[in-house]
Amino acid sequence: DTGVSQDPRHKITKRGQNVTFRCDPISEHNRLYWYRQTLGQGPEFLTYFQNEAQLEKSRLLSDRFSAERPKGSFSTLEIQRTEQGDSAMYLCALQGSTYEQYFGPGTRLTVT
């Protein structure tokens, strides 16, 4: 148990639809990260939060993507007007007490 849950675990959507994913830490963590992993690749950094502040965004995060962490606890990642290239595993990670990152189970997005 990594202390983080993600919902949904799998989402199938049609191209052009909007989708939202949620990351829920079990306990309080200051830093929360989002990564994206496509088939056969390692995870790639998207963005991270220090409490409720979004401090860095990757160039991968186009203007169709938005992330929030309204109260410094759970976080959401929204993709608007989904494209087939958005099909991937979206991973949330929390920073542990000695700065390591622990990943959640991920949300697998399939865009048809």
Partner 1 sequence: QKEVEQDPGPLSVPEGAIVSLNCTYSNSAFQYFMWYRQYSRKGPELLMYTYSSGNKEDGRFTAQVDKSSKYISLFIRDSQPSDSATYLCAMSGERDDKIIFGKGTRLHILP
Residues within the interface to partner 1 (CB under 8 A):
2, 6, 31, 33, 35, 40-45, 48, 56, 58, 89, 91, 95, 98-106, 108
Q: Tokens at residue 100, please?
A: 């390591």
On whether the CB atoms of residues 75 and 66 are closer than 8 A, the answer is no
Q: What is the DSSP letter of 51?
A: T
In single-letter form, the type of residue at position 41 comes to: Q
Q: What is the C-alpha to C-alpha distance for residues 108 and 9, in angstroms, rounded to an integer? A: 6
Smallest separation, CB 18 to partner 1 (Å) = 24
- Smaller CB separation from partner 1, 22 or 108: 108
Q: What is the C-alpha to C-alpha distance for residues 83 and 18, in angstroms, rounded to an integer? A: 10
- Smaller CB separation from partner 1, 52 or 56: 56
- Smaller CB separation from partner 1, 6 or 82: 6
Smallest separation, CB 6 to partner 1 (Å) = 8
